[in-house]
Structure formats: C-alpha cells, structure tokens
Amino acid sequence: MLKVIPGGVKTVVKIGSGMSEIRNDSGELQTIRENLPSCREISLQITAADDGARVDFILKKRLGLSTREIRHMKTFADGMLVNGLPVFTSDVVRAGDLLIARMYEAKKSRRVETRRAETRVSQEDASDHDLQILYEDEDLICVNKPAGIVTHPSHGHHGDSLAELLVSYLQEKGESSPVRVVGRLDKETSGLILFARNRAAASILSRTGIEKEYLALASGMFSDMSGTIDAPIGAVPGELMRRQVTETGQHAVTHYEVVRQYVGEQAFALVRLWLETGRTHQIRVHMAHLGHPLLGDTIYGSYERDEMGKHSGSGKMCRASLHAARLAFLHPFSNERIVLEAPLPEDMLEVLSRADAS
C-alpha cells in the first residue's frame, strides 16, 4: 500500500517494482519506495464495442479475471488504471481509453518463490536434472518431466523438486517470478506439466481447464478396445497415499482407447487415456479396477522388484508406466490455442521394442 506523504491530495500515476510515483495537488511528482511484490501488467485499448462499460465488466469479460482476482487488484493503489489514473471497478470507460490492469502477487501464497535462500537448489541437483522446456513465455512454462522427480517441495524433497529446479533456471536467466503448478504429476509419472508464472494465469487456467492425454502400458488382454470408467475414488483408511474405488469416494471418470495389444510371455497393451476429473492416482486406480494394472505399478499391481530394482513380470519397468503425452489449452491472455506433445520416454519405448522383437 502507499505510504502517506503529508501535504496535498495525491494521485498515483505509476508504480513500478519496489517504487511508487505519485503526483500531488501542485502537479509535482514525488517518488516513494515500496517493497512491492512482482506483478503481471496487461494493457487493453477500449474499443467502441465497450464504450460506456464498467471497469469490472472489462476485467471479467475481456481479460477473464475472477472476482477474487479483481478484489486482490483493488488492494493496490495502481491495480487498475485508466489513462494513467486510478479508477474504481464501478467507473465506466470510453472508446480510446487505455486500461491497465496490474496483477500483483500476494505476499504470502502457495507458490515456489524465486529467492535463493528459500529454494536451496544446489548445482549438483540442477545438473542431475536437465530441464526439457517445450514452451515458455512471460505467463507459462511447460516442461517434459522425467520420471522420478517430485513436482513441488514436500517432506523429504527440498531442493530437488521440479518447481525448485524451474526457479533455479529462472534465476540463472536473471528473472524473478513465482511458479505455480497447473495440474501436477506423480513422482513416477513422466511427461508434460504446465506451470503458471503469475497468479492471474493460474487462476484463469483453473477455470478454462487443460486437455490432457496420457499413454500407459497396461497389463493383460483387453476385451473392449475402448471404454469409459466411471467409478468414484477415495482414500484407503489408514494409508496416506493409496486410493481405491469406493462408493463413498469422489466422482472420477477416465476414458481409454487401446492403441495396440501385445501378446507373448506377458500380455499388455499400449493405451491412450483422457481424464474428465483429476483424482489422486486416478488412472492407476481405474486401470487396476478394470483388471489391467499398469506395468511396474507396485501399489496397484502385484509386482515385486528383482535384484536390479526392476519389477518382475512388469516388462522390467522401474515405475508405473504412465506418461503425460499431450496438453492442449487456451492461453490465459492471448486466447491462442496451444497444443504440446512429448514422445514416450526411453523406458517405455524399451518395453515396446522388446515386445516387437519377441
């Protein structure tokens, strides 16, 4: 918030990162320093179609901001400007006006900060995991996540999570912004994962949604080459992470299509899957419920590790064979449709190659 400077009415004309410029009643500019969080600024030229519309209408209908985001913007003196002057949400705009919306980060929020002292990403951690970034702009970053890395900091994983590695990557570029995961992946799951670089982008994507397509290696022979699993999922009593199909669980729907069926010593199939909901371990639980647990899934399958750490009878997978292969979404601000794809990782390709050769 602005600090009060005695003497005259103050009009905000600009506030940058850590600095505020105000104009007093004599027309003189005075600069004060503030410890402001980072922000994403969007400028919008008002057209004849929106002449006479309220500011809150423009923010909601043209920029896609939620009531919560607009309420947050109002807590900053320069959160909403028209032609360089602060306005209320009830004010109207005219054709030719320039509306500036500044979406500041909250000083406390559920995000991974870009402060070295907090992230503690060592050079060894960063070198062990080369980030494969498939898309990046000032609002979003999409990474092809390798299996074996947790998405965000958790118990036992501080400094080696994907979010923290992204923070380190941004710091090396001299950029400072938080990262928020938009639909996390389990540690064992590989593939595409999207991060928002500001709270507004994360908020908009949470409402507009993301189309996700997975590829998996599922055990057994499928009698139906496609289908839908509509079965509620809930926690297993007394267990922290394990889930089960239960009548008291949350609504969960998974669609699947068998891409190719493999026969041999151990029958399995390459399966394409789409989710209508996003429950913990949803694909793994639903495929096990269908009688086709994923190869390598020691939680929902019946595999044991051999002396090399691989899962016997699982196509020699070291993990549940699940890969986020495709993402499609509308960019939160440009409204451009973006489609991203990631090929199968080496461990899953190796299983398919061995099956083709047998």
- Residues with catalytic annotation? 186
Q: Using DSSP bridges, classify how beta strands 322-330 and 337-341 pair: parallel, antiparallel or unpaired.
A: antiparallel
Instruction: Enter the DSSP assignment of 199.
Output: H
Query: What is the rounded CA–CA span in Å between residue 244 and residue 222?
Result: 21
Instruction: Assign 33 to helix, strand or coil.
Output: strand
- For residue 121, with 0-12 CB atoms within 10 Å meaning exposed, 13-18 middle and 19 or more buried, which class applies? buried
Residue 170 tokens read as 């941004």
Rounded to a whole number of angstroms, the CA Rg of the chain reads: 25
Find how far residue 309's CA is from the centre of its chain.
Answer: 31
13 backbone dihedrals φ, ψ, rounded to 5° = -115, -25
C-alpha separations of 19 from 218, 221, 268 in Å: 56, 65, 61
Strand partners, 31: 21
Residue 275 tokens read as 């989710």
Residue in the block written with tokens 């005075």: 30
